Structure 1
Amino acid sequence: MYNNLFLTVTNETLKQYTKNTFLNKFLNKFDFDEILWSLTTKVISIILISILFFIITESGRKIINHLFKKYQYKLNESNSDNKIDNSKIMIQRRNKTIYTLTQNAFHYLVIFFWLYSILSIIGIPVGTLIAGAGIFSLAIGLGAQGFVGDIVSGFFILFEHQIDVGEHVIINSTNGIVDAIGLRTTQIRSSNGTLNFIPNRNITTISNLSRGNISTLVNIRIMPDSPIKEIEDIMNQVNEQKKEPMPM
């Protein structure tokens, strides 16, 4: 009698999810209200943290644009006299290069902290996961070799001041104007408008056509009895007529 009473009371305290008693006992081990509350809290936290990082991203971009455009405006004002100054031109190109690099670095930094925050909210210990992943960490390391190679190569390209945005270069076999220099890739705009993305680790040869004077060999056929002095005067006159100022 007592056993039957105990079973009756126990069964009444269980939530009846199904008609199967064993399945009901298994499901009653979980607090679905707590699970739903935790899930809702995490989803709301992820949405709020995403909105926060979106605001940080937009604010950071506006600040970077304002600072560099303000400095670029001052450089343009200093060149308003239309006099060619190679040092000022180099400073303008360097400013554009640092601008694109800063934007690139800020973008990667925000993405890193956003992902780290999301994983932390979910409850994944990022540091412990990376440290104890074993083969998984090794696979990530091997896959990141190219990424690290791009960053290292890009650092030396910038540190050695090999190219700047706006310069005419030949990288490997790609001929064009430097459109942007990033942590991973360098963008070259060809004469036909094509935008070429070159991973920094694949850059083996850089020919910068915007640094210093460029010599051009022109073959002129003349008769043996032609007046050399007159020909030299004509060549000098044509050079003065065709000579163009250095582009800004």
Structure 2
Amino acid sequence: MTVAETLISSRANARVKQLRAAFAGNARLSDGLSAIEGEHLLEEAVRSAIALKMVFVSERRPIPRGLPHGVEVLRVTDDVFASAVETQSPQGIAALLAPPVHHLDDVLEGPKPLLVIACGLQDPGNLGTLVRSAEAFEAAGVLTTPGTVSAWNQKALRASVGSVFRVPVVPATAEEIAGLKRRGVRLLAAVGAQDAGVEAAQDANLRGACAVMIGNEGAGLSAEWMAIADARVTIPCPGPVESLNAAVAGSLLLYEASRQRAAAGAQR
């Protein structure tokens, strides 16, 4: 790694401005780079071989160990660091990185891929949790439709706890989602138990190639998504609730798919 000798004390420094733009989600001003904050996310990025461009360390923090060779480390004053990041209690470590780029074919390589489709999710915590669950239950990837929050949103990043560095997150159009059916992937709409023609998750066949469609937190799945679904699945709830949180519902369906696949493998 290369450590800058001069302590940066100006909020107008070009690299500090680039970091600030990345935290704000301004891809143009950040040159397409994304930002992360905190020692844990930095460790996860290094472990996942993510392309780090710069690491920013406040004057009160030691330089992290194990950084890849060639990464530039910039020392900044505490107040300049605080001006660039989003958290109210900065941890003193941040980085700019090149987010990995994935394509639809990347998540369809296996014989029976398990996918999650985020259809207009707007809560970054829900999306990040789904990405985390996708890794936990060995899903091939997460597809995001137009209107879904970015997986590189700061809250989504924190909710994924680093899984976003390893799980392919692929933007997909409605046409591409519908095209999955021609490639042998069943589209399963996650709905509430009160909907008609619904299968309980444990009764649905989740062992083959399938994609679980999770709708918007407030409106659920639109008529457009429901029209292309091959089946509707729900998670039976004995308690008096109408529906589950989007991330909880998606995670439980991924667990059920993982359970069925493990059981099928044990039988073979």
Q: Which has the higher helix share?
A: 1
TM-score range, shorter chain: under 0.3
TM-score (norm 1): 0.24
Give TM-score scaled by structure 2 length: 0.22
Which entry has the higher C-alpha Rg, 1 or 2? 1
Which protein, 1 or 2, shows the higher relative CO under an 8 Å CA cutoff with sep ≥ 6?
2
Structure with more of its chain in strand, by fraction = 2
